[in-house]
Structure 1
Amino acid sequence: MAGVFVLFAVLLLCLCADVRAAVSTSPPNIIIMLMDDMGWGDLGILGQPEKETPQLDKMAAEGMLLTDFYTANPLCSPSRAALMTGRLPIRNGFYTTNDHARNGYTPQEIVGGIADSEVLISELLAQAGYRNKIIGKWHLGHRPQYLPLRHGFHEWFGAPNCHFGPYNNKDTPNIPVYNGSHMVGRYYEDFEISRSSGESNLTQLYVRSALDFIDRQAAAGRPFFLYWAPDATHGPLYASRGFLGSSRRGLYGDAVRELDDGVGRILGRLRERGLDTNTLVFFTSDNGAAMVSRTQGGSNGPFLCGKQTTFEGGMREPAVAWWPSRIQPGQISHQLGTVMDLFTTAAELAGAVPPSDRLYDGISLLPTLLNGTEVNRPVFYYRGNELMAVRYGLYKAHFWTWTNGEDERSKGIDFCRGEDVPGVTTVQQVNHTDSPLLFHLGRDPGERYSIKPKSSEYKQTMQKLKELVAVHRAGLVPGEPQFNICDSAVMNWAPPGCEKLGRCLKGPESKPYKCPWTH
């Protein structure tokens, strides 16, 4: 077994050496476009019948479509932390031990956030001479020590939390919007989002901010990293006036169409400034579409369930890579990839070397993007502190299954709306460790027909998968959990910059408590 892994490592080193020789000596610009709750099936090129993503479809036609690309967790904050660190949430601390297999994130009352001990890709790129900007949703902690300008970003326009609200600023403050290190207003007050019509100009502001950043970096002639993370497709949904009613899919479709248009404008600006041939742009999503949103949510295509679950619909994401002159147009890759690979890929492009004192879960995708190479590697599906499933090749084994509880479903909260599969989409946590549920995702992408445990196919496959899991567990050192403690006193009562605006609010006394994660 050890010999196989040594050979695998040598193969990767050789491939990466070939790739580095092909990459320009001028450091390439890097743009990561991370959507919010956008499903695999929301792109026209992936089968969405209304075909309302012409710019993304064009981007794929000019670059590479990755059909088997995954998030690291079926919820927003852990997924984003994994992207930024190249490490699973169980390693970087974005999980909870308050209960078994519970998804956690960073609402206003969370005390924790991204630890200083974690090294973010923004920090590595800053050290390599890049100018870095994040636009949109951060979600790695809202307290001052966790904000992006403390972690390698030079510029920021966006918010630390999701755009929930409006709140009364007494029990709960409205979420602040930052420009740089200081707030410039709050959602629903200075940055309007109509809860009746869904009208908001936020996506337009995020697009303009991206275009301005590109223009300034082009003029300065320096490499840049742009992390574009708009959140219009996360409920409550929003779109600007010019896009409201433009889709056959309702408000969610309006939001997708506006984001698609924004992608086209950003790629167009790169061409106008002559930066397209030296810029890698990677488009993906933080987790699957939210089935709980019913008609106000996206599509996960043929895959089972959605956001919050470790079924394919919760974790397989749309993914497109674009780099004219480097990535050959019209390619489709079935390479297993994850958001953590973006960390490793960006670091290699910049010539940055991550610290060697920790394990990383990402691999460089450059051999795939530039040479079309595909290598076998496992993908691990975590929900909170539990390894729920593993995929290798076309096989996926579930060690635990769970959607969400019957009490929530009775209230209309259903993460697998209309897709119940007996014995698979269980409403209680079911331990299958002794006899994992095994699926062949090529023959059965919907995870409906498990392979019989007595078959030779099952026995041979499970032997390999269990070996991979054993190796993974042997090297696993969980990080300090960041989602255990909550406190209303740490909400966004008085963010940096509130004094200048006269918008500071008085919060309650500190009363820490154990965060309740229901699913």
Structure 2
Amino acid sequence: MRLSLALGFLLFTSVATAAPPNVVLIVSDDHAWTDYGFMRHPHVKTPHLDKLAAQSLAFTRGYVPTSLCCPSLASLVTGLYPHQHKVTSNDPPLPAGMKAAEFQKSQAFLDGRERMNKHLEAVPTLPKLLAENGYRCLQTGKWWQGDFKRGGFTHGMTKGVRHGDEGLDIGRKTMQPIYDFIGESTKEGKPFFVWYAPMMPHTPHNPPAELLKKYEGKGTPSEAKYWAMIEWFDQTCGELLNHLDEKKLTDNTIVVYLADNGWIQDPKGTLSVRSKRTPYDAGLRTPILLRWPGRVKPRVAEELAISLDIMPTLLNACDIVPPKDLPGVSLLDVAALKGRTTLFGECFTHNAVDLDVPAKSIRHRWVIDGHWKLIVPHVPADADGPGKPELYDLAADPEEKTDLAAGKPEQVKALTAKLDAWWNPGR
């Protein structure tokens, strides 16, 4: 039975004639929210994503709940906050005196990752629910939680090594596994879901020489490499979207785009600056694009959105009842979007302190209410964030340069109360 929700943007066809929509989820990796042509970056060229944005319901004030790859992707695939699914960090607790490279080769590391994998298996995932309703589901690219099957995918590339092992060939080396999967799905007459999460523009920043030449002299050498990586990633997105066109699948395929977390390239090196792993917008904010030709009207949306919205959005669009109590809303639900003024999020340690108790690994919580943003720390100040509450007016100060907390104690108090009502790790 078709869902009877009055979603506003959707124009459902009749049950007798409508085929289930295909779904393609594109996830870029370590990519700043400003670094696109359609976001008016002065140098970066992203013609294919610019075209997708023009065809989409485009949320320019989109966010992820946490600014680190593994927990961000776990939240995307479950629709839950890290403190709910318990995958809070990239890696298990690091034993005292052991270096990360050594730890990743140890049995303790494998045992820790297995516990993290089981946390994800304990909750419903988007591909699992789609597969239970007749979808063929393909994993490519970044995937941290063991073999692809453990996330509910029916097909995939990753066998279980940290980051994604063979899955990381996608985009950088080949797109063929996706094309083969789409062809097989079409031949079998089944709807498909593609998880395209290449490790791009993520390091190593080794773009093709012809792309790097376009950016040389426009920034430092490290910035030029990062910008060229973005255009390389954009080219792969164009190849994927063009394949849908060539196979006449575009009209019945929902395409969603976002980044897993942000990144500001250090002009002098290969690390990020005040972005990834931090509670600032440079690590948390991302455009969220939703294209469904004939069903979703393209527009630039000013409403707040978060990656947790993607699971209920896609399940509703595919006529699948979402799990109860998901914190996100459907991005196709006009009333829910108009009524939302607040987003919440949380940042944790890179290596978990405790794999089963998220509160022990918390570093910062943050809340956005309208254009106000409050960051509440749970650790002393360091390179990843502040040691005292910080308050920003994102409308006037999108780069979060001017902390207003000292002059607005009542605003800090009110937003802290909202954070505590959402999740208080001290309880």
TM-score of the alignment, normalized to the shorter chain, above 0.5? yes
Corresponding position of 1:445:
398
Alignment of 1:350 onto 2:339: no
Alpha-carbon distance, 1:267 to partner: 1.4
Instruction: Provide the residue aligned with 2:199 in structure 1.
Output: 231
User: Is the Cα–Cα contact under 8 Å of residues 138 and 159 in structure 1 kept in the other structure?
Assistant: no
Distance 2:179 2:211 in 1: 19
Residues 342 and 364 of structure 1 are in contact (CA less than 8 Å); yes or no, is this contact kept in structure 2? yes
In structure 1, distance between residues paired with 2:21 and 2:341: 27
For residues 401 and 269 of structure 1, the distance between their equivalents in structure 2, rounded to whole angstroms, comes to 47
Q: Is 1:132–2:137 an aligned residue pair?
A: yes
Q: Secondary structure at the match of 1:366?
A: coil
How far off its partner does 1:311 sit? Answer: 0.9
Deviation at 1:221, TM superposition (A): 2.7
Asked if 1:113 corresponds to 2:66, the answer is: no
- Taking a change above 3 Å as real, the CA distance of residues 388 and 454 of structure 1, as seen in their structure-2 partners, is same
Contact 2:63–2:305 (8 Å) recurs in 1: yes
**How far 1:31 sits from its partner (Å)?**
1.1
Q: How does 1:396-475 map to 2 (within 5 A)?
A: 396-400=373-377, 405=382, 426=386, 430-432=387-389, 437-451=390-404, 459=410, 461-462=411-412, 464-473=414-423
CA contact (8 A) 1:137 1:161 kept: no
Range that drifts further, 153-162 or 381-390: 153-162
Read off the aligned partner of 1:465 and give its amino acid letter.
L
Alignment-mate amino acid for residue 473 of structure 1: W
Gap runs ≥5 in structure 2 = 95-99, 217-222, 349-358
Letter paired with 2:6: A
* 1:44-443 pair list within 5 angstroms: 44-95=37-88, 109-110=109-110, 111=112, 112-114=115-117, 115=119, 116-140=121-145, 142=146, 147-158=147-158, 160-161=160-161, 176-177=165-166, 202-239=170-207, 243=211, 245-248=213-216, 250-289=224-263, 291=265, 294=268, 296=270, 305-329=274-298, 331-356=299-324, 359-367=325-333, 374-384=338-348, 385=359, 386=362, 387-400=364-377, 405=382, 426=386, 430-432=387-389, 437-443=390-396
1:68 match: secondary structure: strand
Instruction: Return the TM-score normalized by structure 2.
Output: 0.79
How many angstroms apart in 2 are the aligned matches of 1:388 and 1:290? 21
Task: Report how far residue 254 of structure 1 moved.
Answer: 2.8
Q: How many Å apart are 1:152 and its aligned residue?
A: 1.5
Post-superposition shift, 1:21? 6.3
Cα RMSD after superposing both structures: 3.4
Matched letter for residue 472 of structure 1: W
Aligned-partner residue type, residue 171 of structure 2: T
Q: Deviation of residue 240 (structure 1)?
A: 5.1
The Cα offsets for residues 428-478 of structure 1, whole Å up to 9 and x where unpaired, read as xx243xxxx3221101112222336565xx63x44653443243137x899
Task: Trace 1:460-499 onto structure 2 (pairs within 5 A).
Answer: 461-462=411-412, 464-473=414-423
Larger Rg over CA atoms:
1
Distance 1:288 1:159 in 2: 27
The one-letter amino acid of 1:27's match is: P
One-letter identity of the residue aligned with 1:220: E
In 1, Cα distance between the equivalents of 2:366 and 2:151?
A: 32
2:219 maps to which residue? none
The aligned length equals 385
2-structure distance, mates of 1:206, 1:162: 20
| 1:254–1:261 Cα change, 3 Å | same
8 Å Cα contact 2:405-2:412 kept in structure 1: no
Query: Deviation of residue 326 (structure 1)?
Result: 2.2
CA distance in 1, matches of 2:37, 2:250: 23
Structure 1 residues 149, 391: closer, same or farther in 2, change over 3 A?
same
Name the CA distance, whole Å, in 1 between partners of 2:130 and 2:282.
32
Compared CA separation, residues 294 and 77, structure 1 to 2 (3 A):
farther
Supply the distance in 1 between the matched residues of 2:212 and 2:304 (Cα, whole angstroms).
Answer: 36
Amino acid at match of 2:189: G
Tell me the secondary structure at the aligned position of residue 255 of structure 2.
strand
Q: Secondary structure at 2:141's aligned position in 1?
A: strand
Identity of aligned residues (%): 25
